Amino acid sequence: MIRQFELVEKVKAYDPSADEDLLNRAYVFAMKAHGSQRRASGDPYFSHPIEVAGILGDMKLDAATIVTALLHDVIEDTDTSLDEIEAQFGKEIARFVDGVTKLSRIELQSEHTKQAENFRKFLLAMSDDLRVLLVKLADRLHNMRTLSHIPDPERRRRVALETMDIYAPLAERIGVRRMKEELEDLAFAELHPEARDSIKARLAFLRESGDDAIERIIAELKEVLAKAGIPAEITGREKTLYSVWRKMQGRNISFEQLADVMAFRVFVNELDTCYRALGVIHQHYPMVPGRFKDYISTPKPNNYRSLHTGVIGPLKKRVEIQIRTGEMNEVAERGVAAHWTYKQHISSTEGRQYRWLQELLDILEHAAGPEEFLEHTKLEMYNHQVFCFTPKGDLISLPRRATPVDFAYAVHSDIGNTCVGANVNGRIVPLRTELHNGDQVEIITSKGQTPSPLWETFVATGKARSRIRRFIRSQERTQYTDLGRAILEKIFRQEGYEFADKSLLGVLKTFRCAGAEDIQAKVGEGTLTGLEVFAAVFPGHKGGRSGSKIIPFSLRRSQRATGRDGANPVPIRGLIAGMALHYANCCHPIPGDRIVGIMTTGKGVTIHTIDCESLQSFGDTPERWLDVAWDADGSDAANHTARLEVVVANEPGSLGRLSGVIGNNLGNISNLKITLRSPDFFNLVIDVEVSDLKHLSNIVAALRATPQVNSVERARG
């Protein structure tokens, strides 16, 4: 256990201006507060906050953080109040202690649904000041170091899993590399002790048989660089056991094949010397293709900067070499913690550090529920990055497997919403193409374009997914609102009134709605009936002139799952695997129709009916035509949207009759628009979900047999 004066000396050594009195008071306060409490190890409880403070002292954090560490468990585990802390140590420290206490209260590994909500709270609590997270990470690190004292194996396992899943990635995110590695190693030891032991033994064997390879390699590298006039510090080390294990898992290779278990760091004085040193090393040793990475010109999101390369180095051993300056190393080892050593170091780069956190919080605000949020977060947390460039050379960092759609949304939501195609390294590619490091991406946009629900199946970033979902939700809402309005207009007219939005203003409260649109949307959805709304607006109104009842339209909630741009691919023969598929909005083909595919670069294939009028415009580009047919096995259970143009008599009940006939024939109206009103007739465009052409023919026949219906035709472009 670190003694009081040792801790103070440790802090004073790197920050001579630190408030000694404050540190001393916090030390004594915490010791008194925890009194005779004991840890599972039998140590006095007080040893824990002191060790946590010591860890943060090793990372050279400011006095406020060290004090917070000393006090981090007093609220939770003693009867000290937050007011007391504030009175004794001031507002800032009280706020930090409160933050850490909140983090500690959040049970991250509870049942699945709660986990998402809890993680969301967790991020919110730490977003206030990342020092709160640093204290929490140091707390977790000390608890992991002493994990073996916990008797219950199930609990040990849970803590280790949580460390691996949440805390180590968070430590990596804020660039605190040493903490991340130790957390991983300790969790690894608990979760897979045999694997860890065997890797350790194997490494020891290799070390012995290689008789001091590390020392000899360092000496040779040093000499090679010195001859070129580059003075350098070089350190060598084996990779962590956990990173070796993960590599073996990820690439499914044996230990012997895993050549680069040794990593060397070359420290030089100046930035441009990094590149000179790299040049010298590449001249001397054959480079291993694919291993070179320039994180100086393209830093990682946590601000890590370094050159990486792999060479067949001294002793003909394959080694990994990282080249950086001392300053870069400082950031690499300590990450965000480097900012709080001295107050003046809180600099403009802090904004960069926070960007990923801002993005997470942004998603959190717009996600429909905690489930959706967790899904995004996990993706964001565990994916590695690819770096791409805009045509102007701006850098956009994205998770692996990101597509041009992700890129577009990362640049700006408007660009994402209106994107139609992408030009990657000078070639037009489909929007679902996976992007790679160094790709230059130009997004082609078109005004009036809207996101396709299909994109949701391939985007990799939470931001893109949440924007697409948000758009789909608002689009659904527009459809519901239009439909609801049509129903209300009809019913009002039927009862002898003219409908206007303001008619609804008096009954907003009755239906607990914020605006007239909300009521219309509810009617469209079917959660309210038109008659209910009418009765509320005119409470005294007696009996309808028609006496007929409007049958509410049934509108399927999830049109996107089955509709024309649906995620379920429809079995179509003649398509290239993986090609994006759209059904043309002009002719709305359904199974049974004779069809043809038109290829559009960047969009995939659009399916038209063979008699669609818009096919004429492709007459002189026969190379774009694709011979396709519906798959005959009939296993396709999905519904398809067909568009009908209907003329009905403008008389009470005809709209209800129409929807009744369609409903009786198991058709589902997914959209309805009145395109023309005259005193005698309504012209309607109706989208109906049907299973196939035969189904549609039945509905058309039934409609034609209905007296109020004047004519029914398929829309033909």
As a whole number of angstroms, the distance between CA 278 and CA 308 comes to 9
Residue 132 Cβ vs Mn ion, minimum distance, rounded to whole Å? 13
Quote the least distance from Cβ 69 to Mn ion, whole Å: 9
Which residue lies nearer to Mn ion by CB, 76 or 613? 76
650 DSSP β-pair partners: none
| Whether the Cβ atoms of residue 380 and residue 356 lie closer than 8 Å to each other | yes
What number of other Cβ atoms are within 10 A of residue 669's Cβ? 19
Active-site residue (options: 9, 58, 76, 233): 76
Q: Which position has the token pair 């914020």?
A: 514
DSSP 461: -
C-alpha closest to that of 167 among 154, 156, 182:
182
Report in angstroms how near the CB of residue 341 gets to Mn ion at its nearest: 23
Nearest residue (CB) to Mn ion, 73 versus 439: 73
Closest CB to Mn ion belongs to which residue?
139
Q: Are strands 681-690 and 668-677 parallel, antiparallel or unpaired?
A: antiparallel
Beta carbons within 8 Å of 67's beta carbon, 6+ residues apart: 22, 23, 26, 89, 93
Please say whether the beta carbons of 689 and 639 come within 8 A: yes
For every residue of 332-401, DSSP letters joined together read HHHGGGGGGSSGGG--THHHHHHHHHHHHHHHHHH-SSHHHHHHHHHHHHHPPEEEEE-TT--EEEEETT
β-pairing, 318-325 with 262-268? parallel
Residues making contact with Mn ion (CB under 5 A): 73, 139
Find all residues with CB under 8 Å of 457, minimum gap 6, and list them: 567
In this complex, which beta carbon is closest to Mn ion, that of residue 97 or of residue 662? 97
Q: Is 540 exposed, middle or buried (0-12, 13-18, 19+ CB in 10 A)?
A: exposed
Taking the complex as a whole, how short is the minimal distance between the CB of residue 167 and Mn ion, in angstroms?
13
User: Which of residues 107 and 611 has its CB atom nearest to Mn ion in the complex?
Assistant: 107
**φ, ψ for residue 145, nearest 5 deg:** -65, -30
Q: Could you tell me the smallest distance in angstroms from the CB atom of residue 104 to Mn ion? A: 7
Looking at beta carbons only, is 148 or 548 nearer to Mn ion?
Answer: 148
Nearer to Mn ion, 33 or 402 (CB): 33
Number of H helices, E strands in the chain: 27, 20
CB atoms within 10 A of CB 392: 7
Shortest Cβ distance from residue 60 to Mn ion (Å)?
21
- Of the pair 142, 608, the CB lying nearest Mn ion is at 142
DSSP state of 567: S
Write down the least CB distance from residue 36 to Mn ion, Å.
17
Report, in Å, the least distance between residue 15 CB and Mn ion.
24
Q: Which CB, 139 or 476, lies closer to Mn ion?
A: 139
Q: Which residues contact 79 (CB under 8 A, 6 or more apart)?
A: none
77/645 with CB nearer Mn ion: 77
Q: DSSP class of residue 680?
A: S
Task: Count CB-CB contacts under 10 A for residue 17.
Answer: 10
Residues 612 and 600 sit within 8 Å (Cβ to Cβ): no
Range 577-583, long-range pairs (CB < 8 A, 24+ positions): 578/432, 579/430, 579/604, 579/605, 580/430, 580/431, 580/432, 580/454, 580/604, 580/605, 581/605, 581/607, 582/452, 582/454, 582/606, 582/607, 583/607, 583/640, 583/641
Task: Identify the CA nearest to 226 among candidates 270, 276, 271.
Answer: 276
Q: Least distance from C-beta 128 to Mn ion, angstroms?
A: 19
At closest approach, how far in Å is the CB of 322 from Mn ion?
Answer: 34
Minimum CB distance to Mn ion smaller for 139 or for 495: 139
Type and span of the H or E element at 280: helix 271-284
Name every residue whose Cβ is closer than 8 Å to that of residue 430 and which is 6 or more positions away in sequence: 579, 580, 601, 602, 603, 604
Q: Are 410 and 434 in contact (CB under 8 A)?
A: no
Q: Mind spelling out the 3-state secondary structure of 577-617?
A: CCCCEEECCCCCCCECECEEEEEECCCEEEEEECCCHHHHH
| Nearest-approach distance from CB 107 to Mn ion, in angstroms | 15
- Residue 631 among the catalytic residues: no
Residue 340 Cβ, how far from Mn ion at the closest point, in Å? 20
Q: Among all chains, which residue has been given the structure tokens 């259970």?
A: 637
- 657, containing H or E segment: helix 654-664
d(CA 198, CA 207): 14
Give the distance, in angstroms, between the CA of residue 645 and the centroid of all CA atoms in the same chain: 42
Nearer to Mn ion, 52 or 669 (CB): 52
Q: Which is nearer to Mn ion, 135 or 488 (CB)?
A: 135
What's the min distance (Å) between Cβ of 139 and Mn ion? 4
**Token pair for 300:** 């990682």
Selected catalytic residue, list 19, 20, 43, 77: 77
**Which residues are CB-neighbours of 459 under 8 A, at least 6 positions away?**
402, 403, 405, 406, 409, 465, 468
Nearer to Mn ion among residue 49 and residue 370 (C-beta): 49
Q: What angle do CA 521, 527, 533 make, to 5 degrees?
A: 75
Q: For this structure, is 165 an active site residue? A: no
Query: Which positions are annotated as active-site residues?
Result: 76-77
